[in-house]
Amino acid sequence: MAQRKTESGFPVKPVYDQSDLPGDIDKRSGRPGEYPYTRGVYPTMYTSRPWTMRQYAGFGTATESNARYHQLLEHGTMGLSVAFDLPTQMGYDSDNPIAHGEVGKVGVAIDSLADMKTLFDGIPLDKVSTSMTINAPGSVLLLLYQLVAEEAGIPASALNGTIQNDILKEYIARGTYIFPPKPSLRLVADTFAYCRAEVPKWNTISISGYHMAEAGATPTQEIAFTLANGIDYVRAAIAAGLAVDDFAPRLSFFFVARTTLLEEVAKFRAARRIWARLMREEFGAQDPKSMMLRFHTQTAGVQLTAQQPEVNLVRVAVQGLGAVLGGTQSLHTNSYDEAIALPTEKAARLALRTQQVLAYETDLTATVDPFAGSYVVEAMTDEIEAGALALMERVASYGSSVDAIEAGFQKNEIETSAYRVAQEIDSGERVVVGLNRFKIAEEEPYEPLRVDPAIEAAQAKRLAAIRESRDGAAVEAALAEVKRAAQGTDNVLYPMRDALRAYATVGEVCDALREVWGVYRPVERF
């Protein structure tokens, strides 16, 4: 029988013992809440409070999504996580011809300040933490959120949340980019500076490995490419004149949790250790918070199946368990019907209940880092760390993460891994319950949540009314200021905020930047 390997390709031994742990574990790992944070970024972790339970939601109109958010908060969700539709993610208004057929489909359509007001109507923004999965136009949606809060009498200093704002991984794995890498990095750095001055509690970026993992990256590739991107963001901010300890404490990360529980726990531990050393040794960080890799986790949507979808409840529970054992700061558990359509209300509630069972019915929150000292987890942590550092050196050999992206390195590595997994599933070497083994003759009927196609026309009508009622001259003047700032070195978020306050649309603000910075066109090199 062939020896089993981890997802990252390392051999798994049937038995581990002390000989698999070279060196002093305590010196390498430290105590929880102490450098290098292998065992967790806080000394008490979940013994003092559980992780933040988020549910990723957004579909159709702002009105429909607002109703779902209220339902989730009533069911015990601690933080909101907003899904935007593809046109919003790409910086296009709903009435743009390119948006046809996609309005409200994979998330909520947000075109202007009016939509953002509706989306968060009745939600106490000074008490709820909000995460927004938005990248190229991340700063635009943050500014809209700030404007909604201010109109409700909530100061920006009270706002707590995260914008993903990780544009580099879009070039590698996801594709919702707008501008070329260099001006995109400038926009990220401007957002860091803006939030330090205006929205100090906001996490200005969630450096994401999740989408790389969904595209096929192994656990080792996931953290290597994510942390390499993080290095580029830190360098961009420093080049823009920011001191590392002024912005690094607000950096956060976003990873996947697969069903391979042991390796996932080791992955999270290795990522914390690598980042802590990078920040202290390469960038000279002095503030302990600058060295802490704080992260959100989402269970692996790519591992869920449309066949026998109820089995996904088990997968999600195992994945969530891995995230918690790995020390995540917040968690989204996918709904069991995600492989079929947008989650129904019942499915979303069950996904949240999964987290609540882990938090309140198990003993996971009774102790910090339950796997500390485990021969297998400690050995896997060392293997993943070494493998990730080797991959990061290969990225650095190109000059930077951006240079490696432009050469197609990360994309090629991930696609090679994805192809290997697909072959293993097709051959039956990799078992997927219900898909290639333990199948049933006939699936039970399932009624998915459907988005009304009339939403697109309704959004277009709302946009027409907004353009008719606003001060057109004021909007044009504000957009001209956005272009002027983009052409120079001024922080572009301030004129963007003024334009959005005047009811310029998301698409109009992004178009102003497109005129100056252009649009990224990928080149296939492999």
In this predicted structure, what is the pLDDT of residue 58?
Answer: 81
Residue-wise pLDDT tens digits, 476-517: 999 999 999 999 999 999 999 999 999 999 999 999 999 999
- For the segment 375-393, the average pLDDT, to the nearest whole number, is 97
For every residue of 292-355, DSSP letters joined together read ---EEEEE-GGG--SSSTTHHHHHHHHHHHHHHHTT-SEEEPPPTTTTTSBPPHHHHHHHHHHH
Q: Where is average pLDDT lowest: 216-225, 254-263, 402-411?
A: 402-411
Residue 2: pLDDT band with limits 50, 70, 90: low
Averaged pLDDT, 292-306: 96
411/205 Cα distance (integer angstroms): 22
* pTM recorded for the entire structure: 0.92
- Do the beta carbons of residue 143 and residue 496 sit within 8 Å? yes
User: CA-CA distances (angstroms) from residue 325 to 318, 368, 369, 467?
Assistant: 11, 9, 7, 51
Side-chain half-sphere exposure of 326, counting CA atoms within 13 A: 37
Write out the two tokens for 458. 């309704």
> CA-to-CA distance for 216 and 422, rounded, in angstroms?
9
Helices 181-198, 138-151: inter-axial angle, 10-degree rounding:
20
Residue pair 295/323 in contact by the 8 Å Cβ criterion: no
For 57-120, the DSSP string reads E--BSHHHHHHHHHHHHHTT-SEEEEEB-HHHHTT--TTSGGGTTTTTSSSB---SHHHHHHHT
Under a CB-based contact definition with an 8 Å cutoff, are residues 500 and 140 in contact?
yes
Q: How confident is the model at residue 132, as a pLDDT? A: 94
- Token readout for 247 is 């912005």
Q: Please, which residues have CB within 8 angstroms of residue 143's CB and are 6 or more apart in sequence?
A: 493, 496, 497, 500
Distance CA 52, CA 55 (A): 10
Residue 121 has pLDDT above 60, yes or no: yes
The residue ranges of DSSP E strands in 349-405, in sequence order, are none
Reported as a single tens digit per residue, the pLDDT across 46-74 is 999 999 998 777 888 999 999 989 998 99
Are 497 and 143 contacting, i.e. CB atoms less than 8 angstroms apart? yes
pLDDT tens digits, 137-176: 999 999 999 999 999 999 999 999 999 999 999 999 989 9
Residue 423: predicted pLDDT? 96
Is the Cβ–Cβ distance between 352 and 77 less than 8 Å?
yes
pLDDT band at 78 (very low <50, low <70, confident <90, very high): confident
Residues 6 or more apart in contact with residue 256 via CB below 8 angstroms: 209, 210, 213, 214, 222, 297, 298, 299, 300
**Nearest C-alpha neighbor of 492 from the set 475, 513, 511:** 513
Residue 441 has a pLDDT of 85
Residue 482 sits at φ, ψ, to 5 deg, of -60, -45
Question: CA 128 to CA 149: how far, in whole Å?
Answer: 12
Contact 90, 178 (CB under 8 A): yes
Residue 185 near residue 154 (C-beta atoms within 8 A): no
307 φψ region: left (φ > 0), alpha (ψ -120 to 50), beta (else): beta
Q: Is residue 526 pLDDT above 60, yes or no?
A: no
Reference 312, options 156, 433, 222, 136; nearest CA is 433
Between CA 130 and CA 121 the distance in angstroms is 14
Give kind and range of the element (H or E) at residue 213. helix 210-215
Residue ranges per structural domain of the chain: 37-362+372-427, 469-517
pLDDT in tens, 345-377: 899 899 999 999 999 999 999 999 999 999 999
Question: Mean pLDDT score of the chain, rounded to an integer?
Answer: 94
Order the strands of the 330-332 sheet from edge to edge: 161-163, 129-133, 79-83, 52-57, 330-332, 295-299, 251-257, 205-208
**How does pLDDT run across 400-453, given as a tens digit for each residue?**
999 999 999 999 999 999 999 999 999 999 999 999 999 998 887 777 777 778
The dihedrals phi and psi of 82, each to the nearest 5 degrees, come to -95, 130
Peptide bond into 36 cis (omega under 30): yes
Radius of gyration of the chain (CA): 23
d(CA 9, CA 197): 45
Architecture of domain 37-362+372-427: Alpha-Beta Barrel (3.20)
